[in-house]
Amino acid sequence: MLIYLEHIIMGIVQGLTEFLPISSTGHLVLFGKLFGLREAGLLFDTMLHFGTLLAVVIFYWQEVVSILANPFGRLARLLVVGTIPTAVIGLAFEDFFDAISRTGQTIGLEFLATGVIIWAVESMRQGDRKFADIGYKDALIIGTLQGVAILPAISRSGLTIAGSLLRGIARPDAARFSFLLSLPAILGASVLQAKKVIEHPIEDTFLIPMLVGTAFAACFGYLAIRWMVRVISTGSMKGFAVYVWILGALIVVLQLLGLW
């Protein structure tokens, strides 16, 4: 039963933190250390990402159908343009990012940086550009920020939403574009991880617990998207900034005491 509990908790963590601006990778590193699961295990990590991919597809199913029906349409082109810098950064610095994620030595500072970004954006005057006003330059800038967010405790959703708001995009539309842009990013990461799993088969007798964890990642990812859209549209993200500041400060203190 303990193995089920661990996988369920990891699924919930992945589902919530992938779309809340508090960094999913940073939290998976934390919980991986807590449960002794190295980066959640490559196969399980791939399945967790697949779960969050399902959450976006279900929540934005109309947009996904539209993209599939019109793969050369405006939205599809925007997502491609936004994904290019993410892919370039990810592939160019893959070994660097992998090394940082494995050690977890920088996540304290990265959590602190995520908080600064969120707080700063929330303190700025908000724009009123609509989704239809998003252009290729916007997609390129936001996609570049998404690439930077490959750092383990820099929030992808936080940085892309921040980039959208900085470009003057209205809050609800900023959330919508951020989550849609996550589709090719999560899919690409899942494909790369799946390739590694195939190339280096991992013997794992915990298939059912992993499937359960994946289901929880999908369910809680869906709930996180719904909540985040509401928060961005009518509330404030400063509470998330305070949370990651506290978490980052705690990790830094533990590192200074030699307990990390």
pLDDT in tens, 130-167: 999 999 999 999 999 999 998 889 999 999 999 999 99
What single letter denotes the amino acid at residue 223?
Answer: L
The predicted structure's pLDDT at residue 126: 81
CA distance 110 to 106: 6
The predicted structure's pLDDT at residue 250: 93
The predicted structure's pLDDT at residue 1: 73
Measure the CA angle with vertex 52, ends 208 and 195; round to 5°. Answer: 70
The pLDDT confidence band at residue 125, using thresholds 50, 70 and 90, is confident
Single out the residue of 181, 186, 164 nearest to residue 173, CA to CA. 164
Q: What is the per-residue pLDDT across 164-185, written as a single tens digit (0 to 9) for each?
A: 999 999 999 999 999 999 999 8
Residue 81 structure tokens: 């343009």
Q: What is the per-residue pLDDT across 34-82, written as a single tens digit (0 to 9) for each?
A: 666 554 566 777 788 899 999 999 999 999 999 999 999 999 999 999 9
Q: What is the per-residue pLDDT across 213-238, written as a single tens digit (0 to 9) for each?
A: 999 999 999 999 999 999 998 889 99
Backbone angles phi and psi of 104, in degrees to 5: 70, 15
Q: Is the dihedral of CA 200, 41, 250, 142 positive or negative?
A: positive
**Mean of pLDDT over the chain:** 88
Single out the residue of 77, 89, 24, 33 nearest to residue 52, CA to CA. 24
Q: What is the per-residue pLDDT across 17-30, written as a single tens digit (0 to 9) for each?
A: 999 999 988 888 88
CA 35 to chain CA centroid, Å, is 21
Considering the chain, what percentage of its residues have pLDDT values greater than 90? 62
The predicted structure's pLDDT at residue 199: 63
Average pLDDT over residues 85-107: 85
